[in-house]
Amino acid sequence: MDNKNINTIEKNWLNTIFCLYILSYVLPIGKIFNIPVQKICICLFLAVSGYIFIKLNDWKSIIRTSKLEIVVLISGALWCVVSWLQGCEYSVECASLLYLSFIMFLIILHLIKENLLDLHKIMRCLFWMMLAKIIAKIILEVIFLCKLIQYEVLYQLYIQIFNVEAIMMTMKLGSLTFVRVQSTSDILVIGLLPFFLLLPEIRRSKKFWLTVLLAIYTMIVYSRLYMVEFASFMVLLLLFEWKYISKKVRYIGIGGAVLTSFIWFKPIFKIVQYRFFSAKVVESDSVRQIQIQELTKGISEAPLFGHGMGSYLPNLIRSTTAPFSYEAEYLSFLYQFGLIGFVMIILGIISVYIKEIWQYVKYNNIQIKLFTLLCLAWMLARPIFNPSFYGIQNGFYVIGLLLINAYFNIENNNSKMVQVQDNLGAQIR
């Protein structure tokens, strides 16, 4: 599209701020020493983007092609106002957490359509941000294993430095005690880094070590959902790469795995058993089951329009800062919005995400398509078990999918997809 009204300096400012925003995801919740780095980047990005859209003066075209998006935004605004008038004190906070990433997604989408984002630079930032998160987690785990820091001290450091109470737990494996440190943005690494493993110009040795680092990261995060998601990506990747692996290497790999199984099978079995079937898991699942029962009961009391945006069960609060957020997130949305609001707001948001991402996915190769579909499937499955829609930390997952598919699609420019992957592979080597 024509963006002659936008000069090089303005484009550079836009892309620099957006890259800084991406890099802010290295921080657990985008804060350090109580400085809201990520929020500052978002405010600057919104300001520069708004200025650029005003200069473009293409509002009629945007409105004409964004009817569904407008319906979803108006529906959320109406639900928020009516809920606030009915006395739902958290309606504005709920709306902001639910819609901020959606609005960011739409802005980034239109900037891509206007060819204003430097997707080469953005993809490099995305890669290095994820690699930095992995390295930081591993360093933290090594420090803990070497007993250079205690569990309680680590917990307090997270609060003091990153202004967040980390989701932490310990696990014994023989004589070793491991620590699990999880934050909301961990899903970005699990879901987006596998796309970089598809690049043919990255040497197989580097792909191998990236996979090892990703596996270690997944175990440190220690989420059941992330473990299964990682495994599903690896199965797909193995299927993609299998035909390129010589028979000799296949036999050596399979034989080596069998012969060394006495070393790795027992600890891996214990980890899986502890994370999926231990008493702590049963306790966690029982809490989730109570939420499901109570939310279902509440839904039956107001099935069509719900109890109001930001409403919650007074006797069952999961989070004091966001009491309307529950692990059974789909049910919590039905409780708040009712069936009509759920269709107009939640299914509306999901429809916009899928519709807009698919514009780029459909022109990409089969590997990118399958990885993207797998990511979208996990995105839709996660709210069954964990909060996934609220906040920009969760929301960047779908923004990342858009950026990755837009990069491959735009750089393709009617040429073979392999050429695009060669370019990106050379850049991150």
End-to-end CA distance of the chain: 32
For helices 329-341 and 67-85, angle between their N-to-C axes, nearest 10 degrees? 100
**pLDDT value at residue 276:** 57
Any idea which residue has 């399979």 for tokens? 254
**pLDDT value at residue 91:** 94
Is 190 within 8 Å of 230 (Cβ atoms)? yes
Q: How far apart are CA 124 and CA 126, in angstroms?
A: 5
Angle (CA) 99 104 110, round 5°: 130
Q: How far apart are CA 151 and CA 155, in angstroms?
A: 6
CA distances, 239 to each of 150, 232, 413 (Å): 42, 11, 27
Q: How far apart are CA 335 and CA 309, in angstroms?
A: 9
Q: How far apart are CA 370 and CA 361, in angstroms?
A: 9
Q: Per-residue pLDDT tens, the chain, 429 aa: give them.
A: 556 677 888 899 999 999 999 999 999 888 888 899 999 999 999 999 999 998 888 888 888 888 999 999 999 999 999 999 999 999 999 999 999 999 999 999 999 999 999 999 999 999 999 999 999 989 988 888 888 888 788 888 888 888 877 676 777 666 677 777 778 888 899 999 999 988 767 787 888 889 999 988 988 887 878 888 888 888 888 888 777 666 666 667 667 666 666 555 566 666 666 555 555 555 566 778 888 899 999 999 999 999 999 999 988 887 788 899 888 899 999 999 999 999 999 999 999 999 999 999 988 888 899 999 999 998 998 888 888 888 888 889 999 999 999 988 876 654 554 555 556 666 666
**pLDDT value at residue 352:** 96
**pLDDT value at residue 417:** 47
**pLDDT value at residue 394:** 86
Q: How far apart are CA 14 and CA 56, in angstroms?
A: 14
pTM attached to this predicted model: 0.88
Enumerate the β-bridge partners of residue 180: 169
**pLDDT value at residue 238:** 84
**pLDDT value at residue 70:** 93
Any idea which residue has 């199984």 for tokens? 261
Q: What is the 3-state secondary structure (H, E, C) of the chain?
A: CCCCCCCHHHHHHHHHHHHHHHHHHHCCCCCECCECHHHHHHHHHHHHHHHHHHHHCCHHHHHHCCHHHHHHHHHHHHHHHHHHHCCCCCHHHHHHHHHHHHHHHHHHHHHHHCCCCCHHHHHHHHHHHHHHHHHHHHHHHHHHHCCCCCHHHHHHHHHHHHCCCCEEEEEEECCEEEEEEECCCHHHHHHHHHHHHHCCCCCHHHHHHHHHHHHHHHHHHCCHHHHHHHHHHHHHHHHHHHCCCCHHHHHHHHHHHHHCHHHHHHHHHHHHHHHHHCHHHHHHHHHHHHHHHHHHHHHHHCCCCCCCCCCCCCCCCCCCCCCCCCCCHHHHHHHHHHHHHHHHHHHHHHHHHHHHHHHHHCCCCHHHHHHHHHHHHHHHHHHHHCCCCCHHHHHHHHHHHHHHHHHHHHHHCCCCHHHHHHHHHHHHC
Of 216, 202, 161, 148, nearest in space to 34 by CA: 161
**pLDDT value at residue 414:** 45
**pLDDT value at residue 311:** 93
Q: Tell me which amino acid residue 400 is.
A: G
**pLDDT value at residue 268:** 62
Q: How far apart are CA 191 and CA 78, in angstroms?
A: 33
Domain segments of the chain as ranges: 8-244+278-428
Enumerate the β-bridge partners of residue 176: 173
Q: How far apart are CA 248 and CA 310, in angstroms?
A: 59
Enumerate the β-bridge partners of residue 171: 178
